Amino acid sequence: MQPSAGFLVQMICFLWLFGVMLWCAFGVVRHADCLAAILGEPYGTLILTLSVIGIEVSLIVSIMLTGGTNEPLARDTMLAVLHIVLNGMVGVSLLLGGLKYGEQPFNTQGARSFLSVLIPLVTISLILPRYTTSTADPSLSTGQQISFAVMIGLLYLIFLATQSIRHRSFFIQPKAHSGVALSFLMAKDEADDDQSTHDDDDHDLEIFSTGYHATFLILTMLPIVLLSKKFAVLVDYGISSFHMPVAVTGVLVALLVLTPEGLGSFRAALSNRLQRSVNICLGSALATIGLTVPAVLIAAGIFDIHIVLGVKDTDMILLLLTLILSVITFTGTRTNALQGAVHLVLFIFYFILLFQP
């Protein structure tokens, strides 16, 4: 059966639009990397994470407002982000770094700080709603939406204060012989070492002033936000035309916002800066729950959108297995290629179950 001219036009428009938005996303990452080189860690990673979450939320809300069966879109997107980050990006980063260096050190306190907040937020956001009785489906009542949004956002803000002010040293690359958190007295020296390494690795970046990169970071985000409505229409059309699972929409959104971050994580691992990879990967996963959930719940209340957050049985089992494996991986002081391979196997299982539930 020959595809219609209208169908081909829609596909070309989608590919062009996806390419433009992906190019802009790379621009956001490039300017965020320049800011990271100027400001040092963890501020550069924080800027990148917050920028990506802004893109993610705008895409989710735009697709939700197009109508159709988009009630589980926020859940599917967050689930896709968690699997792509915790299994895909982490798996490839650890595998590449392990094959090149054997073992790679990272700051254990930083990784544990990420996970200590990520695990309860994932449980509260994606697992608990399927067991609440205030609604007939795996969703939240109005009161639950308000309280969940406030508490999740507050806990994430506390984490940000911990990461950027109180215990900044937890998120800086440790000495090769140590996986223990750095003391406050060592933090400045380690920050200088990390900054020097970062500069060496990103020598190809053309760095200007902070204001310049901050301005263009915002300007490269704007086309993505402005094109998100058209992107939503084309995605909805493509899912219907190809009779694909609705969850594929969440995967497309996740791939769009995470591809630049993933490449940054891989480069950091190949440069033996695993802490940078940990900050990017675990930071992206945590920000997806800590910021996307409150933003989506607020948007749902404003636009009167019904959203479903509770995951299905198979997704819950795979999600819990991913969290347990992440705890095992990041409670040691070093990583290796075997751990990366195990994460990648779970990533493959996620895609198998996506199309063959």
User: What's the pLDDT tens digit per position in 67-115?
Assistant: 555 778 888 989 999 999 999 999 999 999 999 999 999 989 989 999 9
Q: Report the candidate in 122, 119, 90 with the shortest Cα–Cα distance to residue 106.
A: 90
Rg (CA), the chain: 20
Q: Which residue has the higher pLDDT, 325 or 210?
A: 325
Q: How confident is the model at residue 346 (pLDDT cuts 50, 70, 90)?
A: very high
- Lowest pLDDT segment from 242-251, 284-293, 312-321, 334-343: 242-251
Q: How confident is the model at residue 44 (pLDDT cuts 50, 70, 90)?
A: low
The enclosing H or E element of 334 equals strand 334-335
Q: Do 307 and 71 meet the contact criterion of CB atoms below 8 Å apart?
A: yes
Burial class (CB in 10 A: 0-12, 13-18, 19+), 172: buried
Tokens 């169908």 locate to: 7
Question: pTM for this one?
Answer: 0.84
pLDDT of residue 172: 82
What are the φ and ψ backbone dihedral angles of 104, each rounded to 5 degrees? -130, 130
Sequence-ordered list of residues with C-beta below 8 angstroms from that of 291, at least 6 positions apart, any chain = 50, 53, 57, 153, 156
Question: 3-state SS of 65-82?
Answer: CCCCCCCCHHHHHHHHHH
Q: Do 207 and 34 meet the contact criterion of CB atoms below 8 Å apart?
A: yes
Q: How confident is the model at residue 198 (pLDDT cuts 50, 70, 90)?
A: very low
Sequence-ordered list of residues with C-beta below 8 angstroms from that of 346, at least 6 positions apart, any chain = 83, 87, 91, 318, 321, 322, 325
Q: With 70 as the cut, is the pLDDT of residue 202 above it?
A: no
Q: Which residue has the higher pLDDT, 100 or 62?
A: 100
Tokens 């509770």 locate to: 310
pLDDT per residue as tens digits for the range 253-292: 888 888 888 888 898 899 998 998 998 899 889 988 888 8
Provide the residue count of the chain: 357
d(CA 249, CA 68) in angstroms, rounded, equals 12
Helices assigned H by DSSP within 123-209: 142-161, 184-201
The rounded percent of the chain whose pLDDT value lies above 90 is: 28
